[in-house]
Every structure is written in structure tokens, then in C-alpha cells.
Amino acid sequence: MQPFAPINGINQQLSPIQSLTQQGTSSVSEPQDQKLSFGNIMATQLMGANDVMNASGEQTNKLITGQIKNPHDVAISGQKAGIMLKLTTTICSRVSSACTTLFQMQI
């Protein structure tokens, strides 16, 4: 497993969206594939972060029971899970702040 596989997945999923914006506004009015919706992209990334956190917890439990002999791998997975959690909470905070700003705009 690559150390930053969920983060690299964000770039892979954003490339179809960037190609849509480069094509112009004519493709925006057409029905889009459900795979390109913001909700689906966020859900996929949140599931990736959840998988990393669960894997870290499993490795910690295996270290406690003695099934894993190398504590460095457990520490690396713990740090990776911490970074993913911080990234996820930052993204959620920014989206929430953007929604609040949009709701407060006067038309």
C-alpha cells in the first residue's frame, strides 16, 4: 500500500472535473455522470480516510497482541491516519465556512 494512496486518489478523481471545465460551459448543461458529483467525490475520499484510520487501529491492536514485531510500521500508519483526520476536518471546516458565507450573501 502506498503511503499517500488516498491523497493521490483525490488528484485522479479531480482530473475528469478539470477536463469538464476546460471544455466550456456547453458540457455543464448536459446531464453529468453521477461519478463526477461533488457528493460522490467527497464520500469516496471520506471512505478512504476511514479505511486508513481503521487500518491504523487494526495495526495497533496487532502490535498490542504481539502479532506485529515492527513498531515503526504501526507508528507510520498512526501518523498517516492522523494526517488524514486533520485533512478531513480541515476540508469539512472549509466547506462549512463556504456554505455559511454563501447563505449570508445578500441578493
Q: Can you give the pLDDT at residue 77?
A: 92
Percent of the chain scoring above 90 in pLDDT? 39
pLDDT score of 106 more than 90: no
Percent of the chain scoring above 70 in pLDDT? 67
Q: Is residue 42 within 8 Å of 50, Cβ to Cβ? A: no
Whether the predicted model's global pTM rises above the 0.95 cut: no
Cell of 45: 475520499
State the chain's mean pLDDT as an integer: 78
Under the banding of pLDDT at 50, 70 and 90, the label for residue 43 is confident
| Domain tally, the chain | 1
Q: Can you give the pLDDT at residue 9?
A: 54
More confident residue, 14 or 106: 106
d(CA 63, CA 7): 26
Average pLDDT over residues 60-66: 92
Domain of 77 in residue numbering reads as 5-104
The distance of Cα 87 from the centroid of its chain, to the nearest Å, equals 8
d(CA 51, CA 97): 26
Under the banding of pLDDT at 50, 70 and 90, the label for residue 51 is very high
More confident residue, 104 or 42: 104
d(CA 29, CA 92): 28
